[in-house]
Structure 1
Amino acid sequence: MTDSPNPTPPPIQSKTAEAAAGAAKPRNLADVLREFSEHQQKMRDELGKVIVGQTDTIEQLLAAIFTRGHCLLEGVPGLAKTLMVSTLSSILDVSFKRVQFTPDLMPSDITGTQVLEEDDAGKRSFRFVEGPIFTNILLADEINRTPPKTQAALLEAMQERQVSIGRETHMLPDPFFTIATQNPVEQEGTYPLPEAQLDRFMFNIKIGYPSADEEERILTATTRGDSPTVNKVLSARAILTCQKLVASIAAGPLVIRYASRLVRATRPTDETAPEYVKELVDWGAGPRAGQNLIAGAKAIAAMQGRFNVEPADIQRIALPVLRHRIATNFQAQAEGMDTDAIIKRLLEDIAIPEPPKMATQS
């Protein structure tokens, strides 16, 4: 009997399970996937104690965490964006820092700075004082209320997970996630995020108003004076194990081809792009969009306890992955077509590749 070419990821242990000695450990991928699905459902249940509704938003936040991605939450003030992130950090046994982005915020307020110190012998030296970015979960609250100079302080951290100060490079803790909130750019005192900054975010999640039933539940829960407590579910080590598990989910050639076709169809210069894309879009998504489509689809499949990715998983996360990577022109605005409308139309028009037919033997 030979060993499997793909080794089974180590078992996922919750905060409580890590302390239990001699517990039985699952040996095959099916057991690990089942345990992973139970943990992510428990995370949803804990979030549900505080957050009413927002099922898709919570699913996409968890998918980003399990794939080392970053999230941008967009919505008008008062939709519990900050509460959602802070509650998420409460159910994870990791460090959490919140930075309120304001017009006078400086890059060193985020990354840290060098300070000059003098010892007892009179010798002077510089010492680096870490900023709030040195954490596991960074909440960049109202990120578009600070100028692009300060926004750019996150670029290196979000991509390389490190911070360069002077001649030194400091590694960020692992895992590291940036979850940013922003208000609509139509509101006063906002600075649109540069394209390079937007591309660093795996998901751009738009949070809308709650339904009538959800709003009544929110008003009932928040006016009673009760403060629900949430329990910690996963440690930093367990999160890293979950990330390895999600990465091991199989994405077949047909799924890869479908993701590639979908991304290429957003580019007006591509020969496969539909005519309405060539007319309404200035520039489309890059290869990073395809990478995030595959990674996010793997997370969706793993959370549902499946071993492989399906085209439906790509369609499920296409909007949050692509909406901030497509730039429409004035004609699109005149016709009332935003990026969401274009993506939805592409999902209808781009056919899912058919599997190759097997040759029949005579």
Structure 2
Amino acid sequence: MSDSNVPASPPPAPPDPPPAGKARNLGDVLKEFAEHQQTMRNELAKVIIGQQDTIEQLLAAIFTRGHCLLEGVPGLAKTLLVSTLANILDVSFKRVQFTPDLMPSDITGTQVLEEDEAGRRSFRFVQGPIFANILLADEINRTPPKTQAALLEAMQERQVTVGRESYALPDPFFAIATQNPVDQEGTYPLPEAQLDRFMFKIRIDYPTAAEEEQILTATTRGESPTVNKVLSSRAIQNVQKLVNSIAVNPFTVRYASNLVRASRPSDPTAPDYVKSLVDWGAGPRAGQNLIGGAKAIAAMDGRFSIDVADIQKIALPVLRHRIATNFQAQAEGVDTDEIVRRLIKDVAVPKPPRMADKNA
């Protein structure tokens, strides 16, 4: 948190869209984008102490049109992090507290019957909170599967179907969900198909001793720091186009494919521990998210292309919720994070073929 409560000057206007005209090259655009994302981090740091990896992964998801699932015990500022992120973006934000009695129409909206002055009756669709740029699904595992499924179409097709009509969601649209991994009484684990629609599953851990002292000092002053707007919705859309243009070489694509395929026990390239400890592995969407997330990491660093190290950096949040371990793994105390770490260590990095001899 910051000592200053009120900014010295009015909040700055959202920056111009990163993709620029003909006079600017890609290097200048990437440099400007790197500065904007650092500004976003600085604004978040006024409220959120630590959690640098979590913030980086959240930004990477936003810059690649991805959705995130935040998992952590109560009190680790999951909801505060998302709401603060929404505050620094000039976009609409809605929060839904998921409860056992929540109905799908409470999220998507419903048809209401209206009667005009002439006595004619007609139905009018009243939009639900899902019609926002950022939707926070708080404690998503506390609502039954029927209500959880209300997000499936929205997360994939970015639209909502009610009756015979489909309604497009605002662009950009991000679903960020939270869940508590400790208290499982009265909860409904997300089905595999819905988990697969989350780009990242981010696990938030306890702060370090120094960070905890800083949190206690900052939060007991009775001050409310003010954050400034950084990016508009149009700027975010242009950033997404910029990130999508980051170059990907064939060997990095091959590494991402090999990493995903090695997580499947039925694949010939899978290590022995995968075949004995895993019921099923990650699907093709995991490879897409590995490439997309690596592009965002490279762009935030101001680089023109991705590297194998970028894929390894985001492999854990991409793969941990897409691998299902069996009873033997549970008996041996091996979780999906351990499986992914072994795969990162064991899957070889493809080497480009040697250049042919010029005299040949």
The question of a shared fold, defined as TM-score above 0.5 by the shorter chain, is answered with yes
Question: 2:354 — aligned with what?
Answer: 357
The match for 2:230 is 233
Give the CA deviation at 1:17.
3.9
Structure 1 residues 196 and 177, CA gap change in structure 2 (3 angstroms): same
Task: Note the C-alpha offset of 1:24.
Answer: 9.4
- Contact (CA 8 Å) 2:15, 2:231: kept in 1 or not? no
Residues 120, 71 of structure 1: alpha-carbon distance in 2 compared, 3 angstrom cutoff: same
Partner of 1:176: 173
The change in CA–CA distance for 1:214 and 1:71 in structure 2 (over 3 A counts) is same
1:13-66, CA deviations, whole angstroms, 9 ceiling, x for partnerless residues?
x834459xxx99861100100000000000000000000000000000000000
* Matched residue SS, 2:137: strand
RMSD (CA atoms):
1.4
Task: Check 1:274–1:216 CA distance in 2 against 1; reply closer, same or farther (3 A cut).
Answer: same
1:185–1:191 contact (8 Å) kept in structure 2: no
Contact 2:14 2:232 in 1 (8 A): no
What is the alpha-carbon distance in structure 2 between the residues aligned to residue 227 and residue 220 of structure 1?
Answer: 13
Task: Determine if contact 2:93/2:132 at 8 Å carries over to the other structure.
Answer: yes
Tell me what 2:197 maps to. 200
The answer to whether residue 216 in structure 2 is matched with residue 219 in structure 1 is: yes
Q: What is the rounded CA distance, in whole Å, between the counterparts of 1:70 and 1:15 in structure 2?
A: 26
Instruction: Give distance in 1, aligned partners of 2:285 and 2:52.
Output: 26
In structure 1, the partner of 2:8 is: none
Number of the residue aligned with 1:120: 117
TM-superposed CA distance for 1:191, in Å, is 1.1
| TM-score normalized with structure 1 length | 0.94
Match of 2:239 in 1: 242
1:70-93 Cα offsets, whole Å, 9 max, x none, are 000000111000000000000000
2:162 counterpart of 1:165 = yes
Task: Give the letter aligned to residue 45 of structure 1.
Answer: N
CA contact (8 A) 2:15 2:230 kept: no
* 2:206 aligned partner: 209
Query: What is the CA-CA distance between 1:275 and the residue it aligns to?
Result: 0.5
Aligned residue number for residue 48 of structure 1: 45
Structure 2 residue aligned with 1:4 = none
For 1:319, the equivalent position in structure 2 comes to 316
Letter of the 2:222 counterpart:
G
- Aligned counterpart for 2:89 among listed residues 92, 95, 101: 92
Matching residue's letter, 2:239: C
Identity of aligned residues (%): 79
* 1:111–1:130 Cα contact (<8 Å) kept: yes
> How far does the alpha carbon of each residue in 1:238-263 deviate from its partner, in whole angstroms, 9 at most, with x for none?
00000000000001000000000000
Residues 1:285 and 2:282 aligned together: yes
Letter in 1 for 2:272: E
**Contact map agreement 1:97 1:132 (CA 8 A) in 2:** yes
Which residue identity does 1:192 align to in structure 2?
Answer: P
Read off the aligned partner of 1:195 and give its amino acid letter: E
1:303 to 2:296 alignment: no
User: How far 1:189 sits from its partner (Å)?
Assistant: 2.2
Looking at structure 1, the residues matched to 111 and 182 of structure 2 have their Cα atoms a distance apart, in angstroms, of: 34
Q: Say which of 124, 135, 138 aligns to 2:135.
A: 138
Cα distance change on mapping 1:185 and 1:166 into 2, 3 Å? farther
Structure 1 distance, partners of 2:279, 2:183, is: 21
Match of 1:335 among 312, 332, 337: 332
Residue type of the partner of 1:303?
M
**Cα gap change, 1:70/1:111 in structure 2, threshold over 3 Å: closer, same or farther?**
same
CA contact (8 A) 1:322 1:343 kept: yes
Change (3 A) 1:290 1:133: same
* SS at 2:75 equivalent: coil
- Relative contact order, CA 8 A, sep 6+: which one is greater? 2
Q: Distance in 2 between matches of 1:267 and 1:343?
A: 12
- Letter of the structure 1 residue corresponding to residue 35 of structure 2: E
Contact persistence 1:70–1:177 (CA under 8 A): yes
Q: Which segments of 5 or more consecutive residues in structure 2 lack a partner in the other structure?
A: 1-11
In structure 2, distance between residues paired with 1:26 and 1:122: 61
Between the two proteins, the alignment pairs up a number of residues equal to 346
2:82 maps to amino acid: V
SS in 2 for 1:97: strand
- The separation in 2 between residues aligned to 1:34 and 1:117, in whole angstroms, is 53
4+ long deviations beyond 6 Å: none
